[in-house]
Structure 1
Amino acid sequence: MIRLYQTMAGARHGGAEVFFERLVSAMAKPVWSGAVRQRVAIRRDARRAGVLRAAGVDFAQLGFGGALDILTPWRLGRDIRAFRPDVVLAWMNRAATKTPPGDYLRVGRIGGYYDAKYYRGFDHLICNAPGLVDHMTGQGWPAERIHYLPNFVHAEAGVPLVRADYATPEGVPLLLALGRLHRNKAYDVLLRALAKVPAAHLWIAGAGPEEAALKGLADELGVATRVRFLGWRDDTANLLATGDILVCPSRIEGLGNVVIEGWAHGLPVVAAKSEGPLHLVRHKETGLLAEIEDADGFAAHLNAVISDAGLAKALVAAGRAEYETRFSEEIVVRHYLELLGSLRK
C-alpha cells in the first residue's frame, strides 16, 4: 500500500482543480482501500471541503497565501510528517512552493505550461499531456524523471436540460463549448464559424475576461440570437446530455479535457489542431480537426457532422471506445497508483 499526501492551493474553479477533486475522490473509494491511503491539504474553500468530505477524503485546510505566508509551510510540514507519506503530490505552482522537503518523494503534477523553477528540488513530475512533458524537458527537466499520465472524466449520464429555458428551439443542432472565456479558447473563431452554420445554435459554458468582447462580436456577426453564454457551470453532465456536438476551437490547449468529456458522453467532437486535441483526436475517426484560426474549415466540419448522420454516429462510437480503453476512472487511477508505487523511496 502506498501512503500518498496531496497538496492543492488552486482557485475555486479551473481544470486542474476539477481533476484534483475527481482523482482524490476516486482514490477514496473502497475499491482502492488496499492500494492507497491518502491525506490531502487544500486552500481554505467551503465548496471544495464539502466535495472532499462527501467523498470520504481525509483532509486539512490551510491558508496557502502568497510569498509572505510562512505559516502554511510550517503547518503543512508538520501535518505531512504526522501522516508519514511515501509520496507527496503537489498540484500546481503555489502548492509546490509551500510543500517542504522531507523523507518522502516530492512529485509535481503539471497541468499547464508552468515554469520549472517552482519545482526545484522535486524528485519527479507528472504531466497530463505529452506537450507538457516537452515543455518541462525543454526547461532542462531530466527526461527520466518526468511522466505522462492523462486525466479521466466521469461518464455518468446527466439529465437533459429544457432548451426552452435557454431560448433554444428543440430540434436544432446544438453546439456545446466548455471552458474559460479567454483568448486561448478561440471562441471568436467559433462565433465566426457559427455564422457559416445557419442550422446550429451554440451554448458556451464558462466565464472569463473575454465575455464582453465575445458578446459584441456575436452581435456584429448577426449570430447573437443563436448563442447563449451560460457562465461557469457545475452541471457539465447535464450540458453534455443536452448538446449535439462538442466543440473545442482552442488556439492553445495543452490537454483538451473537453474532448474526452465529449467522447465519454456520446457527442461527436470537432476541434482545432491545438496541441492537446491534436494528440488526442484521430482525424475522421474519433473526431474532426480543423486548422487553428480557420473559421471556414471549422464550419465545414460542423456542417459535415450535422448533415451526415452516419458520420456523426461513427465518430461517437470511436470516441466512446477511446474513452473506455484510455481515459476511464478505473484505468487512470490504476496508472497513477502503479507509477507512484514504482517511484517511492
Structure 2
Amino acid sequence: MTNNSITPIKVAHVLAGANQGGAENFYTRLVCELAAEKEFVQYAFTRAHKIRQHAFAAANVEMHAFKFGSLVHFIDHYKYRKALKSIKPDIVMTYMNRATSLTPAGDYKLVARLGHYYDIKYYKHCDYWVGITKGICDYLINSGLPAHRVVHIPNFVNETASESIARESFSTPAGVPILFALGRLHTHKGFDILLKALAKIDTDAVLWLAGDGPEKESLQQLANQLGITERVRFLGWQSDVNALMQTADLFICPSRHEGLGSIIIEAWFNKCPMIATASQGPSELITDQKNGLVTPIDDVTALASAIKTLLANPNQAKQLAEHGYLEYQQKYSRDRIIEQYKDFFKLITQ
C-alpha cells in the first residue's frame, strides 16, 4: 500500500520584541493562523508574555520562552540555539534586529521578515528576506541582497468580527466627533503633530490615542500646553482595535516613519475613513483622495485642514472608507496573505 502521508514543514518563528506593538501583534497573529494549515507545524521562540502564551496555547503552537537579552545573557543565547536546533526546523523566520542577529545560519532556510528599513548588517547571513512593502524590498535589493531571494508579502489584520463600542466610552461627551490614533508613543509616530493639528481645529472633536511608550509624558504635557487636555484620551494599549476603529469617525496616522503601517490596512478592513502622512508605508499603500487622504509629514496646517474636510463632508469620508475596504479585500485579506506564505515556504523547501 502506498503511503500518501506528507511530512509537515517545520517553521520556527523567532521574535525578541516587546510585550505589545505592531510587529509583536502580527507575529502572534501570523503564527496562530499558520498553525491551522495542516501542511506545516509552527513553533514560537519569543520572550515570555501571558497574552502571547495564551494565544499560542489556544492554537496548539509549541512555545519556547527566552530572555533574548544583551551579550551578558550568553547562557540564555546558548539555550535558545540549542532548543532551536533540537526541533530540527526546515525554516526559521526571524522578526526584527535582535532575533535575527542571535539566530545563526544552520541546516534550515533562514528567513528574515522586515517590517521597516532596518540596518542591513543584522540580516546579511540570512538565506531569504521578506519585505512587507515594495519599498522595503527595493531597499534590501539596493543594499546588495540578491533580488531573487527578496520576497514581498504584506501583512493582514485581525479579522475577528467586532461591534462598535459606546461613543461615550472613556468619558467622551455625547455627540462629538471621535478621532482615533494608534501606535507606540514614540517620536517616529508623530503624535505631537496630531495634537497640534487638533488644537487648530475649531471643533469639539475628541481624540482617542491608543498605545504606550517613552513619549507618553511629553505628549500629555504638550496636550496641556495646547489647552486640549479635555479633548484627548490616552487609552494605553487596547486589545480590540477593530471595535475602536468601528466606533471612530476618522483614523489618523501622523507618522514621520512607518514601514507598512498595518494600522492603515486595519482602518481599511474596518471601513474607518483615514488620513495619513506621507511616510514610507502609507504613501505606498494609499491613493490620495481615493482610499484615504495623504498630507505632508510634520505639516500641522495640512493635517488640520484634512481633518476639518472629512468631518465636514461625511459622504466623502464614507466613500474613502468603501474604497479602502475594497483595497483590503483585493490585496491584504487573511486568506491571500496566508496563501502567499504557504507558497513561499513550499518553494524554498523543495
TM-score bracket relative to the smaller structure: over 0.9
Q: Following TM superposition, by how much is the alpha carbon of 1:48 offset from its aligned partner in structure 2, in angstroms? A: 1.8
Given candidates 19, 26, 32, the residue that maps to 1:12 is 19
Letter in 2 for 1:330: D
Deviation string, structure 1 residues 238-290 (Cα, Å, up to 9, x no partner) = 22232111110111111111111111111001111111110010111110111
CA contact 2:124–2:145 (8 Å) conserved in 1 = no
Query: Are 1:110 and 2:114 counterparts?
Result: yes
Partner of 1:3: 10
CA contact 2:13–2:93 (8 Å) conserved in 1 = yes
Q: TM-score, normalised by structure 2?
A: 0.92
Whole-Å separation in 2 of the counterparts to 1:62 and 1:229: 31
Query: Are 1:303 and 2:271 counterparts?
Result: no
Partner of 1:266: 271
Query: Are 1:206 and 2:211 counterparts?
Result: yes
CA contact 1:254–1:276 (8 Å) conserved in 2 = yes
CA contact 2:93–2:113 (8 Å) conserved in 1 = yes
Whole-Å separation in 2 of the counterparts to 1:219 and 1:210: 14
1:30-69 equivalent positions in 2, closer than 5 A: 32-33=37-38, 35-69=39-73
CA contact 1:185–1:249 (8 Å) conserved in 2 = yes
Query: Are 1:326 and 2:328 counterparts?
Result: no
Letter in 2 for 1:297: A
Q: Following TM superposition, by how much is the alpha carbon of 1:55 offset from its aligned partner in structure 2, in angstroms? A: 1.9
The count of residues paired between Structure 1 and Structure 2 equals: 342
Deviation string, structure 1 residues 191-213 (Cα, Å, up to 9, x no partner) = 12112333321111111222222
Whole-Å separation in 1 of the counterparts to 2:158 and 2:199: 32
Deviation string, structure 1 residues 173-196 (Cα, Å, up to 9, x no partner) = 111000111111111111121123
SS at match of 1:230: strand
Partner of 1:161: 165
Whole-Å separation in 2 of the counterparts to 1:190 and 1:133: 29
Query: Are 1:147 and 2:147 counterparts?
Result: no
Whole-Å separation in 1 of the counterparts to 2:85 and 2:226: 59
Letter in 1 for 2:15: M
Runs of 5+ consecutive residues of structure 1 not aligned to the other structure: none
Given candidates 181, 192, 195, the residue that maps to 2:199 is 195
Given candidates 127, 130, 140, the residue that maps to 2:131 is 127
Deviation string, structure 1 residues 205-251 (Cα, Å, up to 9, x no partner) = 11122222222222222222211111222221222232111110111
Query: Are 1:240 and 2:245 counterparts?
Result: yes
CA contact 1:271–1:287 (8 Å) conserved in 2 = yes
Letter in 2 for 1:320: Y
SS at match of 2:200: coil
Letter in 1 for 2:225: E
Letter in 2 for 1:91: Y
Letter in 2 for 1:41: F
Q: TM-score, normalised by structure 1?
A: 0.93
Partner of 1:294: 299
CA contact 1:157–1:241 (8 Å) conserved in 2 = no
Deviation string, structure 1 residues 70-124 (Cα, Å, up to 9, x no partner) = 3344434443344332211111222222223222111111122322222232101
SS at match of 1:160: coil
Query: Are 1:101 and 2:108 counterparts?
Result: no
Partner of 2:92: 88
Name the CA shift for 1:88/1:103 in 2 (closer, same or farther; >3 Å): same
Query: Are 1:181 and 2:185 counterparts?
Result: yes
Deviates more, 1:248-257 or 1:220-229: 220-229
Whole-Å separation in 2 of the counterparts to 1:38 and 1:54: 13
Partner of 2:343: 338
CA contact 1:155–1:265 (8 Å) conserved in 2 = no
Q: Following TM superposition, by how much is the alpha carbon of 1:54 offset from its aligned partner in structure 2, in angstroms? A: 1.6
Partner of 2:259: 254
CA contact 1:249–1:271 (8 Å) conserved in 2 = yes
Whole-Å separation in 2 of the counterparts to 1:61 and 1:2: 22
Query: Are 1:278 and 2:287 counterparts?
Result: no
Letter in 2 for 1:168: T
Name the CA shift for 1:291/1:76 in 2 (closer, same or farther; >3 Å): same
Percent identical pairs in the alignment equals 38
Runs of 5+ consecutive residues of structure 2 not aligned to the other structure: 1-7
CA RMSD of aligned residues (A): 1.8
Letter in 2 for 1:271: A
Whole-Å separation in 1 of the counterparts to 2:103 and 2:301: 48
CA contact 1:158–1:240 (8 Å) conserved in 2 = no
